[in-house]
Every structure is written in C-alpha cells, then in structure tokens.
Amino acid sequence: DGGITQSPKYLFRKEGQNVTLSCEQNLNHDAMYWYRQDPGQGLRLIYYSQIVNDFQKGDIAEGYSVSREKKESFPLTVTSAQKNPTAFYLCASSARLGLAGRGSGFRRPYEQYFGPGTRLTVT
C-alpha cells in the first residue's frame, strides 16, 4: 500500500537537544511538507520541498532545518533554537502542480496526503 510513514509516534527530549523526525513516502510524489499543529491554530507550514535537493522556508521555519536528498524522504530537525518545540508534527506529500495548474498525471494534484504525525514533548 502507498502512503506516508512518520516515526516515532511519540518523542521526548530534554531542552537544548536537537531531534530529528523521520518522514518517508512511497507515493512517487514530488512535493513534501512539514507542518506543526497546535491547539486552536490549525496547521502551520514549517518547510516544503518541490523537488529533490531543493526546499523552501514556510511560515514558521525558525529553529527548524530539513534536507531532501531522496524523493522519498524529508526529515525534519528541531533544533535547540526553536523556542517552543512541544507540538504535533505532521508530514505530507502531494503531486507537483505544473505552471498551468495541472498535475503530473495524478487525479487530484492539489490533495495532500498526511502521515500519522509525531508528538514531540520537550521538557
């Protein structure tokens, strides 16, 4: 079955430590995303990547870093510089939209597929 996996499901870290969250997809999607979800605030975009070896900052990138060395993988590192890291982190992927707004052969190119999330607690 195709899908997105995130690991671990729960993660506990001490303040001042960096931590890396894993995200893997086998949907052959070009685009991948990291979101942070806090109560009452919906999903906020941290970083996104449209293609391998390229990624862009989202709305709340400070204190986070990413890499995209393989199409299937988009790990997120929460650094000690992130002031309030405790949150639910969601990874997603989608087909890449072309300039005309058409998908690369996918039926619903705008649809984002989400992983199950990682709940990070920093104390």
Partner 1 sequence: QKEVEQDPGPLSVPEGAIVSLNCTYSNSAFQYFMWYRQYSRKGPELLMYTYSSGNKEDGRFTAQVDKSSKYISLFIRDSQPSDSATYLCAMIVGTGGFKTIFGAGTRLFVKA
Question: What residues make contact with partner 1 under the rule CB under 8 A?
Answer: 4, 31, 35, 40-43, 45, 48, 50, 90, 92, 94, 96-101, 108-112, 114-117, 119
CB of 40 to partner 1, least distance (A): 5
CB of 1 to partner 1, least distance (A): 14
Vertex 38 angle, CA 56 and 77, to 5°: 40
**Left (φ > 0), alpha (ψ -120 to 50) or beta: where does 53 sit?**
left
Quote the CA–CA distance of 50 and 120 in Å, as a whole number: 25
| Residue whose CB is less far from partner 1, 50 or 86 | 50
CB of 115 to partner 1, least distance (A): 5
